[in-house]
Chain A
């Protein structure tokens, strides 16, 4: 049997990535360039919230302290969140969000393909479900990259700026810590560094076709798996968790 506290942390990691990403996407509601895109971004958010719910619910079961997915989402502090930092960054402009979507959806397609074969049946099932969804997310981001990258001078520049600004947060996607060892050895997950070559190949192909240069960044920022975040997560949580903090256990 795998180390349950490692498994718990890993499930929080998967759930938190989806939850925080979903929250940022939902900020586009009523602010996207046009109505159809407003619906698209919030639909993406909906898929992510569903995934967050599944992973956090299972995390609660593994922990065995009767914490529900809502308890885990609304009653943990910043240092107990294990999402990749890229998910918590402010939404920026539309091109910046598309750059972020391409980075994450390219990664998610590879990750959930691999996790569909997890020895942990629940993770495999949730991942097989998520895989069908993130493929649509990838297509959405890819097609927007073409449109913006090959669009006007301004749209091209904004997309390139988006990738330039966000690229330093991509290194973390392929990092592990000690809590991975047991899980990888037991086939619960894979070492994410094994996804890096394919990820770079897939994303470079889209960026090249969009006339976007793959940024060359020396310093990669990480910290999410240690619970050390950018200044942005605290602000996000103070808003997301406001109701449960101000009125504990409020229901509607």
Chain B
């Protein structure tokens, strides 16, 4: 239990720093900005109570906002992703549910499951984020293109990270 908490705290800090120090400075072609910090919400244990997930999402988003000078933007998007996580998880649940003691990772449920789950999570986050940034539906399709391209790129980074960085 303590182990699970400390692991998640370390992951929280590592992802936050990686986001604000490295990934915030990446911008490809004006369309693609990877927001990989959402991986923290994706990897929380299945048993995490929904209210903790929501509060973690709020704190994480707020910190990213403070460092990115986008007060409120990432907070609202991350809270939204945290809120939708239980629904997304139950949608992709195997027939006999998730085994207790397992984690939402490639190791337990396989690569196809993880790709589906992670990319839908990233999509829910990015969709909310980019439209909140616009704050209006002007240029609807240009924003949609940004959402889709960024989602693909972030998901790719997240899936790769499962093999190289966050293996266990």
Indicate whether A and B interact: no
Binding site for B on A (CB under 8 A): none
Binding site for A on B (CB under 8 A): none
